[in-house]
Structure 1
Amino acid sequence: MENDELHRRFEALTTAHLTDGCIRARLQVRCAPAGTRSAVPGGRVAGRVLPARHVGSVDVFLEALSSAEAGDVLVVDNGGRLDESCVGDLVAIEAATAGAAGIVIWGLHRDSADLRALGLPVFSLGSIPTGPLSLTARPADALDSARVGPWEVTPADLVFGDDDGVVFVPAAEAGDVFRLAESIRDTERRQADLIRGGTTLREQVRFAEFLRARAENPALTFREHLRAVGGAIEE
């Protein structure tokens, strides 16, 4: 999926829609750890993963950005450290100048006011004033992949972020995930409109019918019922 189409379609979706699309597509849901948020209020990001593993020096970011394509998202692995920041205003400005769509950090950032002024979406676990506190040996594959929480991501992945957090989707599966996410979004919008118009969600999903069927078949799940009646609230 080209970057232009990627951004256009994500503009009408949320990360929640995409995670639901992953579930419907039988894909593993890979979210950044809870609490990963944009330093820029309302920040949204979408693009190909550009990985970099931080070991205490900015050079790894500069090298990664040297090969960046417009719309890539710098994904920084700092091991989830909460005692130091690894990205500040200079790296963010450099990323913006290189055409990056944003930055996602498994760790912390600093220079929050400058980041807000720049406007580049920078997602992290939060902020702290101090920069890197130590320098360790750089692995040979520092630009091949990045770990974000329990997940290892590579340039074969896409990353999306909004007010709910960050999710990673295999680029090869993005078309199916988007199609399913858009279908779920449309169903939920219709359901919300009906609720506002006086038709309760219980009526829409025929909840009384589900309760009767479950009384006869205790193994029946609500998700099975929803699939049968066309609901989408749980996936």
Structure 2
Amino acid sequence: MPGSSPVEAAGSSSAAAPGRSSETASGRSSEATPGGSSKTAPGRSSEGAPGRSSATALDRSSTTAPARDPSPSGLPVSRSPRGADPVAVLLTAAEQLGTAARVCELAVQHAGTREQFGQPIGAFQAVKHLCAQMLVRTETARAAVYAAAVTADPVDVAAARLLADEAAERGARDCLQVHGGMGFTWECEVQLHLKRAWVRARRAGGGAESEELLAVDLLA
């Protein structure tokens, strides 16, 4: 305006004409709309953070991990190893127990019929020790599995799973030892029991998972 000083001109309204952009104090470019409101340039938010809006930050901060589905058995999943279903873990332990009992039976049967040096191999002390250890591990695992089935406690289930896995794997190995080279052949079922015991031992809820659960329960 004629007669106005430079200070007054600088302090005049910052509203710009439609289609023109004005430089704000923070250095952001804003475009005036016909209604008088300013629109922030694309890629810039009203908070001044490049490429990030306050709504996006709010959504990101409010995002939480999805809730884990409860156990199908209705038992507490929080105490089970890494969310594994205690019923599934117990059923696997029962399968391992069946394998341990079967290989123990096969070993005793073979030791009583196979003869070496004019007598059954079951008469030798080394074979006797193998069969006795198989029986002890099997009966120990049997008691643990039956107790876990009654109590339905995830800690008892984890203990039963560890004992059953050991009884099945070591029992199958000892049975293979009693059968000698014949145990490795396809005509003998011992090698199948050993492979199945290995596979079951790597299912969810076994090994380190059950050991961690027992450790947490002991330290609680």
Same fold (TM over 0.5): no
The answer to which structure has the higher helix fraction is: 2
TM-score w.r.t. length of structure 1: 0.22
- Compare relative contact order (CA 8 Å, sep 6+) and give the higher one, 1 or 2: 1
Structure having the larger proportion of residues in strand = 1
